[in-house]
Chain A
Amino acid sequence: MRKLVASAIALAASAFVAVAPTASSAKTITLCWAAWDPANALVELSKDFTAKSGVDMKFEFVPWPNFADRMLNELNSKGKLCDLLIGDSQWIGGAAENGHYVKLNDFFGKEGIKMDDFMPATVLGYSEWPKGTPNYWALPAMGDALGWTYRKDWFAKPELRAEFKKQYNRELEVPKTLDELTDIAKFFQGRDVDGKKVYGAAIFTERGSEGITMGVSNFLYPNGFKYDDPKKPYAMEGFVNSAGAVKGLEAYKALYKCCTPPGYTDAYMGEGLDAFKSGQVALQMNWFAFFPGLYKDEKVGGDKIGFFVNPKGPAGSGSQLGGQGLSVVSYSPNQAEALAYIKWFANPEIQKKWWSLGGYSAHKAVLNDPGFAKTAPFAADFLVAMGQVVDFWAEPSYAQLLLAEQKRIHDYVVADKGTAKEALDGIIKDWTKVFKDDGKL
């Protein structure tokens, strides 16, 4: 027994020794991002930076459902884990006003990095705060928008084409409107294809972070939903809950109810990828960021997969903006090296390599290149999408606004509470309260 106690004490003592902080090397910086395909591409790309500057790169990747929580927590606790952070576009307001990011105007000026070299939608979405003013807090790093993939091989099957034509009196093609998309989903729901039962569409329904809001926006924007009056900021009545917005929300719920796989009540990017890759669904809503990886997939890639941009609605078109900007964390002790990384990353040659590895460059040198649309089957759709992107609020209290919409939309779409108009009215009520607390209303 004595020996047991002695060894336990030794173990505990060593625990305290293990706790002592180790000396950190000044030549390593940590970049934090979400754990997804483009992050792996960035690891590969960054080897060039290490070769050129001698600074080693460490990476901290967190899966999307936990990314916002963990990183915002990190920033709010003034953590030193990240020197560079590729943060979501919605965080810009909070990060700028609470001093989490380093303002980059001076650095850009000194190093000759011009925001004009980047696509305007990305500069507005990922770098500027306040919006529409030349105050830059990030370098646009990853352009992204919500798009769709579909099983091209299923669409090519003659028997399915014939059946579809008979039912809907038009060809089984890429849908041009949201209604056409719903028809296609209905057509495939429960159908036997290649000996297995398949379902219509994999859409976003995630409750915890931002999933269902991102998904429903793709149906709301083309139906006329606006966050506020373009002429009167924060005036939401009639814009958030316009008749078109109500119809759009109802259509999303109808699509969820009729044409999704069983148990699809809390699904986001990962679940969509799993559903599509395992051959469960004909259509998949997901970020363009995943399309390079899907195209290379051995089971559903290549000829089997096709892509299309978010279809039109009665009020026009719109795609939910994704994407992130690269920022320097103001609590980092290695800001010089972090800024050097940004300078390296902004180089047009590096941007071209970034695109070739699977990262969506926002640099005009890449996107405006005449051959760009042919570089990948989804490239042309990406350009169209980026031309019609709409983003969620980037206010400092964006999290409250997002959580309110998450709750109301999930309550209506998945938990069958109330009507679409009540959900949207509820969102206006919640958002008004937030803006009043902030002094904006």
Chain B
Amino acid sequence: MQQSFKHAHRKHNLKIAPLLTLALASQLGASETATEYLDPTPYDKIWGLATLYKDDLNPILQEFKLRGRYHGQYHDVHADQGDSGGWEDRRSRFGFDAKLFDKQLEARVDFQSNDGFTDFYDGLVDAYLKWKPNEKFAVTLGKTKPLVAYADWISSTNETPAFERSQIFNQLGINRATALTVEGDTGGVLWQAGIYSNDTPNGTGGSGAWGDGEFGELNGGYAVSLGAGYNFNHQLDVEKALLRLDWLHSKREATDVVLNRYDDIISTTFQLKEGYWNLTAEAFAASGGDGVNGDVFGFYLQPTYDIIPDKLQLVGRYSYTTGDGPARVQAQSRYEREVPIKKIPGVPGSSNRGDEYQAVYLGAQYFIYGNKLKLMAGAEWARLSREGRPTGYDGITTLAGIRFSF
């Protein structure tokens, strides 16, 4: 064994001279061909396994593809009000996409497991049919996202660069609803309209049973949305400069479970992309709520910079929210509310609330296979202020996690 190793070692020594020659030759480019072909990567092949059926010639079904995702993350909160931490399994979803009838009809069904997999089935997430007769018009019927907050909500959380959506979005009470939406592109002007059922359940509520977390009964309040946008990329000579304005008006009823906090929500979004840089700026104004859900205004600015294109991205975000009363603004449920934020004396329903919120997030994403498999890490400082009173929350949350989807 020992001899064999020595022999091998000697052989390696002898191979060093050719290695040098090879390196020199390589340096000179003398022995290489100039062409290299881009072939599917092992990741492409593995992810391709999710496409169970594909045949463009089938007149009925052209493609059937499984969908799934998992987000796991560790958090560690250090705040003046206390500490907290732990691992969380979340956003676990399974389902399928199907393309039918010359790919003009798309069907998507996703169901979710609740956080921590307590119930494997915890209701439907997306469950809709989308008719898209051409690239500039689409009608969607089923359980889907209300069309407001284009960046922080409409974009998939698989693609969002920070762990959590912004504080201002998270306090608006927006979630998926049974809906009929229409989207179009007329001469470059993007537009949308939709109508939503406010009694759409977002989960089974822990029953894990069919019938508790799907489309609802359509007998609660309803909401409507209107919106428009335009990509000014040619005017600004950048890759993307999308400006959007979206409005959601809700006719709320007492039994509503979604879109039930405010009468009106307006969001305006600006997304800029050029070279290594991306910038998303999104502002919200919400009004007409009851009690502590009084009028609020907030925005966030979220730049990203590609340190290594397609591999490593630096992410920043500044968030600001203010309200017109002492308890109009709430702390983030992930994970600021894990530490005890005291009630404001004399203000009902003011637990976890204040009148101004600011946060700064700094993190990074490492893309193993684009947004389909990536590692994330970051830290967010946040403060929930209470004018004339002791601060509600002041602390730093450190996060690390993995996002996987197919």
Question: Is B truly associated with A?
Answer: no
Using CB atoms and an 8 Å cutoff, list the residues of chain A in contact with chain B. none
Using CB atoms and an 8 Å cutoff, list the residues of chain B in contact with chain A. none
